[in-house]
Amino acid sequence: MHLANKPILTSRSDDGVFLRLLALKKGCTLLAAAIRVALPPPLPEQLAAQVATQQQEKQQQQNQQQEKHQQGTQQPGQDTSSPHTPPSGLRIVWAALRNARRIFSAAPKQDRSPVEVQASMTDEEIQVTSRIAASLVDTLESVTAAADVASCMGALVAGDLGGDGDGGEMEALLPLLAPGRGVGVVWEGEQCVCVLCAVNVVPMLSQFLSMPSDTHTQSTPCIPQHHVHHPPGQDMLADTTCVWLGDVLLTLLQQAEASGLSKQQSAEQGDQGDQGDPKTTSLAWPVLWDKLFTMLLGHVEFLHKVIVVAREGGPEQQGMVDVVRSMVPKAVMHKAMSFTTSAQRSKLRPLLMDMTH
């Protein structure tokens, strides 16, 4: 299968072959398997040997640069090391990360009729999607070179995760945690059958925010009509036991920290933020982190907005508050805090604290 040989693309159409794979009935199953074999995680002793080799090569490069500088053949700060060549197996990882929203959102994975498209991911689709996340986690744990980690983060923040600009404020929500599951309706031809489906809370949140404020105390927005159970309840809480995009992002942040990328974070640049095109072509870590932080902050701000409105509705809206709280990936936010600048923390921390009280 032909895949782009760079993490960030200028056109979504460049992922056409990959998207056709996802459209196949067994496409996600094939993707999970392909990611796992494309860059298999090394054995513990192999990983230790890789780290030792990288440290030795880094030391040799530093010694060579110092010697050349002393001989006057290199200007201070000039890098004479050979360009890094990423493993070819990363191409499918990049493709998956570029299309993270398409893969992990609680939406149907197969083409369906206008009626059928109302149904969310089936239980089988959730399980297959979770296997994709698990394969990504295992593979990313074997990515130790800083340049490779940055390339993966670049693919994620420059892909469809940030939305395409036509989804309104709902695009702020990131599919970081697996959705809760409840009984829903799926159409097989002309027959309506009840199956276990993901509860897509996005339409419900949109409906809730669009309701007049004086109705928040009178009624709870219903789940979309294809769901045949009660309004917000325990079965709608995000599933933290299922491996999902949040676990992938957490692994990326952990690898960034381990590879030393976090030390490249410029406090000055981080405080100012990067206001450029979100589809950035830069793989500089401070730029990538600013893009990711903007997405995480937008996610939390939207959820906080829903909680504020729900609290105004009184005890009747406690179910809504619980659902929204469950959509905050605590482990991801905790790790992200270690990368934030003081200005970024001042924006994110108060929201998180208010949501948990």
pLDDT digits (tens, 9 = 90+) for 69-99: 666 554 444 444 556 788 889 999 999 999 9
Amino acid sitting at position 292: L
Residue 171: strand pairing partners:
none
287: number of Cβ within 10 Å: 19
The CA dihedral of 247, 137, 23, 198, to the nearest 10 degrees, is -30
pLDDT at 195: 54
Note whether residue 137 is domain-resident.
yes
C-alpha to C-alpha distance for 87 and 93, rounded to whole angstroms: 11
Amino acid sitting at position 24: L
pLDDT band, residue 187 (cuts 50/70/90): low
C-alpha to C-alpha distance for 134 and 241, rounded to whole angstroms: 12
Q: Decide: residue 168, CB within 10 A, 0-12 exposed, 13-18 middle, 19+ buried.
A: exposed
Note whether residue 224 is domain-resident.
no
- Could you tell me the CA-to-CA distances from 148 to 52, 119, 161, 266 in Å, in that order? 17, 38, 19, 20
Note whether residue 160 is domain-resident.
yes
Longest CA–CA span in the chain (Å) reads 80
Question: 76 or 250: whose pLDDT is higher?
Answer: 250
Question: 181 or 297: whose pLDDT is higher?
Answer: 297
200 and 147 Cβ atoms separated by less than 8 Å:
no
pLDDT at 194: 52
The range of the structural domain enclosing residue 293 comes to 12-47+88-177+239-355
pLDDT at 147: 92
- Could you tell me the CA-to-CA distances from 332 to 17, 103, 144, 246 in Å, in that order? 31, 19, 19, 7
pLDDT band, residue 105 (cuts 50/70/90): confident
- Could you tell me the CA-to-CA distances from 83 to 39, 79, 86, 147 in Å, in that order? 21, 10, 10, 10
Query: What's the N-to-C CA distance of the chain in angstroms?
Result: 50
Share of the chain above pLDDT 70, in %: 66
Report how many domains make up the chain. Answer: 1
- Could you tell me the CA-to-CA distances from 45 to 41, 48, 53, 134, 190 in Å, in that order? 11, 5, 12, 22, 56
Note whether residue 292 is domain-resident.
yes
Least confident range of 62-71, 216-225, 257-266? 216-225
Residue 188: strand pairing partners:
191
Instruction: Indicate if the alpha-carbon torsion angle 2, 8, 11, 16 is positive or negative.
Output: positive
305: number of Cβ within 10 Å: 16
Note whether residue 182 is domain-resident.
no
Note whether residue 72 is domain-resident.
no
Residue 266 has pLDDT above 80, yes or no: no
Question: 220 or 322: whose pLDDT is higher?
Answer: 322
Question: 244 or 48: whose pLDDT is higher?
Answer: 244
User: What sections of the chain are H helices per DSSP?
Assistant: 16-23, 27-38, 44-70, 90-98, 100-104, 123-140, 146-157, 201-210, 245-258, 267-272, 285-312, 318-325, 330-337, 342-355
Note whether residue 256 is domain-resident.
yes
Note whether residue 309 is domain-resident.
yes
